[in-house]
Amino acid sequence: MSRGPSGPEERAWEVVRRAFDERAVAPRRSRRWLVAAAVASAAVVVAAVLSPPGRAVFHRVREAVGVEHADVALFSLPAPGRLLVVSENGGGVWLVQDNGFKRKLGTYTDAEWSPHGLYVVATRPNELVTLDPENGERWTLARRGASQPRWEGTMTDTRIAYLTPGAVRVVAGDGTGDRLLARAARVPPAWSPGRLHTLAYLTPGKTIVLQQVDTGRVLWRRAPGNAPRSLAWSSDGTMLAAAAPRRVVVLSGTGAVARVVSTLSGTITGAAFEPGTHRLALTIRRASGSEIKVVDVDHPGAARLLFAGPGTFRDIVWSPNGRWLLVDWPTANQWVFLHGARVHAVANIREEFHRRDDVVPSLRVAGRWCCR
Burial class (CB in 10 A: 0-12, 13-18, 19+), 167: middle
User: What Å distances lie between residue 204 and 166, 186, 207, 221, 251, CA to CA?
Assistant: 8, 8, 7, 13, 19
Q: Which of 97, 104, 9 is nearest to 47 (CA)?
A: 9
Burial class (CB in 10 A: 0-12, 13-18, 19+), 54: exposed
Identify the CATH number of the domain in which residue 157 sits. 2.130.10.10
Q: Which of 139, 91, 89 is nearest to 114 (CA)?
A: 139
Look at residues 190, 223, 256 and tell me which one is the last residue of a structural domain. 223
pLDDT of residue 33: 34
Tell me the residue type at 151: W
User: What is the tally of structural domains in the chain?
Assistant: 2
Q: Are residues 10 and 74 in the same domain?
A: yes
pLDDT of residue 211: 98
CA gap 120, 98 in Å, rounded:
17
CA gap 66, 72 in Å, rounded:
12
- The answer to whether residue 232 is domain-embedded is no
Cis peptide upstream of residue 370 (ω within 30 degrees of 0) = no
Look at residues 156, 190, 223 and tell me which one is the last residue of a structural domain. 223
pLDDT of residue 44: 33
Tell me the residue type at 308: A
Give this prediction's pTM.
0.83
Identify the CATH number of the domain in which residue 347 sits. 2.120.10
Q: Are residues 305 and 180 in the same domain?
A: no
Domain that holds residue 188: 108-223
Q: Are residues 305 and 363 in the same domain?
A: yes
pLDDT of residue 45: 38
- The answer to whether residue 90 is domain-embedded is no
pLDDT in tens, the chain (372 residues): 333 344 444 444 444 444 333 333 333 333 333 333 333 333 333 334 333 333 333 333 334 589 999 999 999 999 999 999 999 999 999 999 999 999 999 999 999 999 999 999 999 999 999 999 999 999 999 999 999 999 999 999 999 999 999 999 999 999 999 999 999 999 999 999 989 999 999 999 999 999 999 999 999 999 998 899 999 999 999 999 999 999 999 999 999 999 999 988 899 999 999 999 999 999 999 999 999 999 999 998 888 999 999 999 999 999 999 999 999 999 999 999 999 889 999 999 999 999 988 899 999 999 999 986
